[in-house]
Amino acid sequence: MASNPDELVRSFISLLSARDLDAALVLVSEDCEYDNVPMGKTHGPEGIRAALTGFFAMAEDIEWETLQQVASGDLAHGTVLNERDDRLRLSGSWRSLPVCGVFEVRNGLITLWRDYFDRETLMKVMSPGGAS
């Protein structure tokens, strides 16, 4: 169990990086907002599952690395911002999506996950012949 918002978000990213959606989604609230800023939002564990299942299925490997993370508050009411290198392997090559994430924590669960990135970079990352 996480003892603070920093640990909670690190666990969440680590479980997603392992593509363990079932375990990751236990950490989000029923009304959790998942906002991929340049693309749109989904809500709740099943919204996140729907958004990520296809993405995870197409990747040969996933490695999301948290480069920096800063947190405030506690598990009752906390905020976490992180800078990540979300890498995936596709067609045998590793590609990198630079991301900044914003997380809000309420009552021990993640209630907001908002990722900032460049949409065009994601499209390149996900294309079979995409550049790294």
Pick from 13, 21, 46: nearest CA to 113:
13
Nearer to a second copy, 47 or 73 (CB): 73
Q: Which residues bind a second copy (CB under 8 A)?
A: 37-38, 68, 70-72, 79-83, 98-102, 114, 116-121
Rounded to a whole number of angstroms, the minimum distance from the CB of residue 83 to a second copy is 5
Rounded to a whole number of angstroms, the minimum distance from the CB of residue 46 to a second copy is 25
CA angle 125, 22, 59 (to 5 degrees): 20
Rounded to a whole number of angstroms, the minimum distance from the CB of residue 95 to a second copy is 15
Nearer to a second copy, 23 or 37 (CB): 37
Contact at 8 Å (CB) between 107 and 93? no
Instruction: Give the active site residues.
Output: 86, 115
Nearer to a second copy, 37 or 76 (CB): 37
